[in-house]
Structures are given as C-alpha cells and as structure tokens.
C-alpha cells in the first residue's frame, strides 16, 4: 500500500454548549494513503461532518474545539518528507494548506456558492490565493477547471452567477473550486446527498475520474453504502462519534463484523428480494455524550451482553487492516459467542 498523506490520530472534537460538553468526535483515528479513496460511513449525526471540518480547521469555534489528537499531513520539503500537525500549526500556515493541498466540497451545493459573485470569480479567487497568476491565466484556469468537471459551455458559465445553475452544476462548480489548485487530498462531505439519482451517479463518476487521472486522494463521507461500494478502497464506519469498524471495502461489505455494520448492510435494499420488508436497525442514534458507560451501540444491538453495558470496547485488529470495536471478537471468552451470532 502507498504511504499515508493524511493521518488522523486520536482526534476528539467537542462542542461546548449550554447542555454541556458534546463529544461529537471521540478518539477517531484513520489514515488516507496516496491516490486512495477512503469512505467514512455512518448515520446522520454520528460526527462525519465534524471530523472533516476538523481536518480543514473549520470547526465553528465557539462552540466547537479540537480537544485532543493530531492531524498529520505529509509534506514534501526540500526533497524530504515531513509531517505537519494541522492541529498545532499557525492559522497562517493552515490557510496556505487549506484550499491548496487539502480541499473540501460540502453537503449543500445549493447554498455553498456566494450568490453575489460570478462562478469565474469564485474559482479564480481560489487560484489567486495560492498561485501567482495573471488575470488572463486565472481566467483560463477557471475555464479549464470547469471543462475538467464536465460543465457544458464553460466559457459562458464562468461569467454566470450561481442562481443560474442547477444543483448538480453547482456541485460541479464546487468540485472545480476544490480542484483549482490540484490538491493532494479532497474531502467530499456527502457530495451527492442533496442531488437526484442520475446527477448523483454523474458526480460520483466525475470524482472517480479525478481520483484516477489526477491521483487525488479522496476522503468520501457518505451514509450511502452504495456510494462506498462504487467508489472506495477502504471504509471506516462511524457510530456516535467513534469509529466502530475499519477495513477494505471488500471485507466491510462481504464480511462485516461489528453488529452495527452488519445492520447497515442488512438494511440495504436488494434487487432480488424486492418483496421483503426493508430491514432497519431498531432505535435511533444516541445523542453524543448521552451514553457514558459501555458500548454506545449496546442499546440497539441484537447481540448485547452484560459486558457491553459496563465497559467500553477498544478498536481491535481482527485481520490485516481490519479493525472492529466489539467485545464479540475479543480473543478470550467471547469467540464462542461470536460464532453463535455468525450462525444465526
């Protein structure tokens, strides 16, 4: 496997609100390797967006704050590789990386572009922040990027305003902005959730193309396992602020271990079982911070036993590159239990 370009270790991002401290992201670790697409999946409210905003240094503060952990970004400096901790570096330095080497596209294409500026201006602005270019070059770059993301009539669209474009087109523009400085890492926070299905497929196709042709590593945030199967090399499954399982797409989809992951996969609609009622995991995602003791999934888990309610399971390795946070798979004692579960 390639070297990691971005390594997140023990990241915790909390919100300090009137109702107390909310651990939206709690001790999360993952790595993205060169040219890789890493999926982060989980239900609404499990902390996916906060994780990606943490990496960008864009957590709204107040109320949010990174309280622990490091975000290591690999840089080439004079031929050597150095890690920069994005949590610790200066705001100025972070601004230089943000939008340049790490870029992000957001969940809400309809509202993510400034309505008062032309498309061209908004792309050129991103270019000019990080590159020395003349007016003419900048415009050319803007047109090229629009062409890259498959916008028809790019040299007219540069002079148009966001409200003249559809949601799908706007998301393409967002990708063009994100790609304007050819970043090493692209964070895509549910880039297709707000779009209709055919447009979704086109946007995913585009991102796949960028990953293949430009070698951009992508952190793909989604709650859609279909997107994961389509796009990702590896997947991290998040639940209530924690990663509960991590592995290659194959293992996660074919051989999921954590009861939550299994529930997620069971709830996928399948073509040949059209008549059956769709499965859904009983219960709701707990509010972050509401479960103090024990596994956070325990109240919804079908395989729950005493220990789950008292202790916090660790993220343990099962096989090469496959990790799971569940007592069922601890070496001693629990193996029998796991087998019974697997058989049922």
Partner 1 sequence: MISYTIRRILMLIPVLIGMSLITFSIIHLIPGNPAQTILGEQATPQAIEQLEEQLGLNEPYFVQYGNYMMGLAQGDLGTSLRTKGEISSEIWPFLAATIELTIFAMVFAIIVGVNAGIISAWKQNSIFDYASMLIALVGVSMPIFWLGLMEQWIFAQELGWLPAFGRGNPRDPVETVTHFYLVDSMINGRPDQIWTSFKHLILPGVALGTIPMAIIARMTRSSMLEVLRSDYIRTIEAKGARDLSVVYRHGFKNAVIPVLTVVGLQTGTLLGGAILTETIFSWPGVGRYVYEAIGNRDYPVIQSGIIVIATMFVFINLIVDLLYSYIDPRIKY
Ligand X SMILES: Nc1ncnc2c1ncn2[C@@H]1O[C@H](COP(=O)(O)OP(=O)(O)OP(=O)(O)O)[C@@H](O)[C@H]1O
Which residues here bind ligand X, judged by CB under 6 A?
Answer: 15, 17, 22, 24, 42, 44-50, 60, 63-64, 107, 190, 223, 288
Chain contacts with Mg ion (rule: CB under 5 A)? 49
Is 156 a binder of partner 1 (CB under 8 A)?
A: no
In the sheet that holds 242-248, the strands lie side by side as 102-105, 185-189, 217-222, 37-41, 234-239, 242-248, 322-324, 316-319
Q: Which residues contact 231 (CB under 8 A, 6 or more apart)?
A: 37, 39, 204, 207, 208, 218, 220
Alpha carbons within 13 angstroms on the beta-carbon side of residue 154 total 17
State which residue, 2 or 17, has the beta carbon closest to ligand X: 17
Q: Which residue has the tokens 């915790």?
A: 12
Q: State the Cα–Cα distance between residues 337 and 327, nearest whole angstrom.
A: 10
State which residue, 12 or 49, has the beta carbon closest to Mg ion: 49
Is 186 a binder of partner 1 (CB under 8 A)?
A: no
Torsion angle of C-alpha atoms 54, 56, 57, 63, degrees rounded to 10: -50
Q: Which does 223 bind (CB under 5 to 8 A by kind): ligand X, partner 1, Mg ion, none?
A: ligand X
Task: Quote the least distance from Cβ 50 to ligand X, whole Å.
Answer: 4
Site string for partner 1, 40-79 (x = CB under 8 A): ----------------x-x---------------------
Task: Quote the least distance from Cβ 288 to ligand X, whole Å.
Answer: 5
Q: What is the DSSP letter of 98?
A: B
List, as one string, the DSSP characters of 249-269.
HHHHHHS--SHHHHHHHHTS-
State which residue, 180 or 200, has the beta carbon closest to ligand X: 200
Other CB atoms closer than 10 Å to residue 17's CB: what's the count? Answer: 12
Is 172 a binder of partner 1 (CB under 8 A)?
A: no
Q: Tell which positions 88-127 bind partner 1, by CB under 8 A.
A: 95-100, 103-104, 106, 108, 111-117, 125-126
- Rounded CA Rg of the chain: 21
State which residue, 265 or 316, has the beta carbon closest to ligand X: 265
In this structure, what token pair is assigned to residue 138?
């900048």
Q: Which does 46 bind (CB under 5 to 8 A by kind): ligand X, partner 1, Mg ion, none?
A: ligand X
Give me the residues that bind partner 1 (CB under 8 A), please: 56, 58, 95-100, 103-104, 106, 108, 111-117, 125-126, 129-130, 161, 163, 174, 177-178
């Amino acid at each position: 496997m390639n070297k990691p370009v971005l390594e997140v270790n023990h990241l915790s991002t909390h919100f300090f609100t009137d109702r107390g401290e909310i651990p939206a992201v709690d001790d999360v670790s993952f790595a993205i390797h060169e040219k890789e697409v890493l999926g982060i999946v989980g239900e609404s409210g499990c902390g996916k967006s906060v994780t990606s905003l943490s990496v960008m240094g864009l957590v709204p503060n107040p109320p949010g704050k990174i309280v622990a952990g490091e975000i290591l970004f690999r840089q080439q400096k004079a031929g050597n590789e150095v890690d920069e901790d994005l949590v610790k570096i200066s705001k100025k330095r972070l601004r230089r990386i943000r939008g340049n080497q790490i870029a992000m596209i957001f969940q809400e294409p309809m509202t993510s572009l400034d309505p008062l500026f032309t498309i061209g201006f908004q792309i050129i602005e991103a270019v000019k922040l990080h590159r020395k270019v003349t007016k003419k070059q900048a415009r050319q770059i803007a047109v090229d990027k629009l062409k890259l993301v498959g916008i028809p009539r790019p040299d007219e669209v540069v002079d148009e305003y966001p409200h003249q474009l559809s949601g799908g087109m706007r998301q393409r523009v967002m990708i063009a902005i994100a790609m304007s400085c050819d970043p090493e890492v692209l964070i895509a926070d549910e880039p297709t959730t707000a779009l209709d299905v055919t447009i979704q497929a086109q946007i995913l196709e585009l991102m796949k193309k960028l990953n293949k042709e430009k070698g951009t590593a992508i952190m793909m945030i989604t709650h859609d396992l279909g997107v994961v199967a389509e796009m990702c090399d590896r997947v991290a499954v998040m639940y209530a602020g924690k990663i509960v399982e991590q592995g290659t797409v194959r293992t996660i989809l074919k051989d999921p271990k954590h009861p939550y992951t299994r529930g997620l996969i069971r709830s996928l609609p399948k073509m040949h079982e059209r008549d059956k009622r769709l499965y859904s995991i009983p219960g709701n995602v707990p509010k972050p911070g509401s479960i103090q003791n024990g596994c956070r999934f325990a109240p919804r888990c079908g395989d729950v036993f005493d220990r789950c309610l008292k202790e916090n399971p660790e993220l343990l390795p099962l096989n090469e590159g496959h990790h799971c946070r569940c007592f069922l798979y601890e070496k001693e004692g629990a193996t029998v239990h796991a087998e019974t579960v697997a058989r049922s």
